[in-house]
Structures are given as C-alpha cells and as structure tokens.
Amino acid sequence: MPHQIPADGTLLPLMEEFYTIQGEGFHSGKAAYFIRLGGCDVGCHWCDVKESWDAELHPLTHADQIVANASLHPGKAVVITGGEPLIYNLDYLTSQLQQRGIKTFIETSGAYPLSGHWDWICLSPKKFKSPRLDVAPHAGELKVIVFNKSDFEWAEQYAALVSPGCKLYLQPEWSKHQAVLPLIIDYVKANPKWEISLQTHKYLNIP
C-alpha cells in the first residue's frame, strides 16, 4: 500500500479536514467535521476531487491527531470520505471518535471490505469499480449519482441488495444537474421509494 501505511490504521493519508455543513443525503443540513483521506482507484471521470486519488500526495497523519482536531468543534459528527476511505483499516480511528461521543459517518463506494465502527454508512456505488456485495446490507443510505438515463436501471440493481430500511437517494451529477434533474424528478414521482439528494453545499457555496 502507499506510504507503507500500518495495517492497524493508526496512520492515514490525510488530504484535508474541515468543519462545515453536510450538503447531501440523509444528514443534509447538519453540522459535521469532514475527514477526507487520500487514495482512490475507482476512477470516476466526473470526480470533483481527483487530487485525492494519489495517496502519496497527502501526509500520513496519526489518527489521534485527527480525533483531537475533530474534538475541537461543537458539532459531534464526523464524515469520513475520500478518495475511497475503505482502502484503509478504519477501526482505530472510528473507535477513538466514538469514545469521545462523536458520531461516525462514512461515504464509500463499497469497493473495499468494510472496516470501522459506524453510526451511519452512505453507500454510493460506482460503475467504474463495483461495490462488494457484503457492504450493501450495512448501508443506512444508498446514494446513486445520476449521469445519464441508464443510471436508473443500475440504481435499482443496488436497491435490491440493501436492507429494507435503507434510505434510497438519486443525486444529479453536478456538471449535468440541469439536464438530469428533470429526469430524476419524473423517476421519483413514478417510483416514490426513491428520494432526491442535492449537493446543497454547492448551491450555498460552502466546502
């Protein structure tokens, strides 16, 4: 693995961390501390954080320091994202966060084995590297990015794999949101088990 990252997850390639408002999905509108880890081989061509892909570009940071930074903020919720955060063992980081009363959320493509202790798992599967089937049943939220019409049928394939209580979201890919949002609206009206997720942080112009 890059950087010779220890298997116990005590050192992680930290791209950025910041306190903001969760912009999308079930927890939209809530204060949260974002931890973005470097490293991803899923390769979404429309990814808006391609600089996260190469883990070597981001400094190895001790999980205790990340936890200490997160603890400084009044919003006691952390979103761990990437890149693809499940490349790494997240057991230590999440257990330390939870011991401090901080809720742990993850945004993952599900392409790697599940690790960590989670209050909420957002599974956002990608066609470029399919998620593992053993991750889907643990998701509290399935968030499918809609880039074209074929994504609706693909979304239904994963809706059949998650638990009955999992929230189902369709989210327009930002660069095409004006074109695909009308399609999503019509689809949700016809299939009301789905809901619409918007990247509200981009409308609000916040990180």
- Whole-number pLDDT of residue 3: 67
Burial 16-48 (b: 16+ CB within 10 A, else e): ebebbbbbbbbbeeeebbbbbbbbbebebeebe
Pairing, β 194-196 against β 120-123 = unpaired
* 54 CB burial (10 A radius; 0-12, 13-18, 19+): middle
**Is 97 within 8 Å of 130 (Cβ atoms)?**
no
In 3D, which of 124, 118, 116 has the Cα closest to residue 168?
124
Q: Residue ranges of the chain with pLDDT lower than 70?
A: 1-3
Q: Is the dihedral of CA 91, 94, 96, 101 positive or negative?
A: negative
Separation in Å, CA 112 to CA 27, 40, 46: 23, 11, 21
Chain position carrying tokens 């994202």: 81
pLDDT tens-place string over residues 88-123: 999 999 999 999 999 999 999 999 999 999 999 999
Q: Which two structure tokens, joined as six digits, stand for 37?
A: 């880890």
Strands, DSSP E only, in 6-140? 11-21, 31-37, 60-62, 77-81, 103-108, 120-123
The class that CATH gives domain 2-142+161-168 is alpha beta
CA 7 to chain centre: 22
**Residues 142 and 160 sit within 8 Å (Cβ to Cβ):** no
Q: Are 70 and 35 in contact (CB under 8 A)?
A: yes
Tokens 């400094």, residue located: 59
d(CA 207, CA 74): 18
pLDDT the model gives residue 43: 80
